[in-house]
Amino acid sequence: MLDEMRIPFKAKQIIHGHEIDFLIGRNVIEIDGHIQNTTKNKVLMENGYNVYHFQNNEVSQAREWLKKLIKNK
């Protein structure tokens, strides 16, 4: 989806010792299903990252949100 939208991103990165799904600027996008790692969230946020979580079934609905996120970064 990010490729189709021509949004520059990095996938499967290690940041401060934690693997993340997608990185867009200082925005971390996690596709979690229903599990969130609160320790990882805390470390990332303490280091200036915004962390957003989506469940698998929400990804296709996130297009408009992603457009707004990129436009406002």
Predicted pLDDT of residue 72: 62
pLDDT at 19 over 90: yes
Average pLDDT value for the chain = 81
Residue 22 has phi, psi (to 5 degrees) of -140, 145
pLDDT tens digits, 40-62: 999 999 999 999 888 877 777 77
Domain borders along the chain are 10-67
Cβ-count burial 24-56 (b if 16+ within 10 Å, e if not): beebbbbeeeeeeeeebbebbeeeebebebbee
**What stretches of the chain adopt beta strand conformation (E)?**
10-15, 18-24, 27-31, 50-54
- Superfamily of domain 10-67, CATH level 4: VSR Endonuclease (3.40.960.10)
Which one has a higher pLDDT value, 64 or 42? Answer: 42
Predicted pLDDT of residue 73: 56
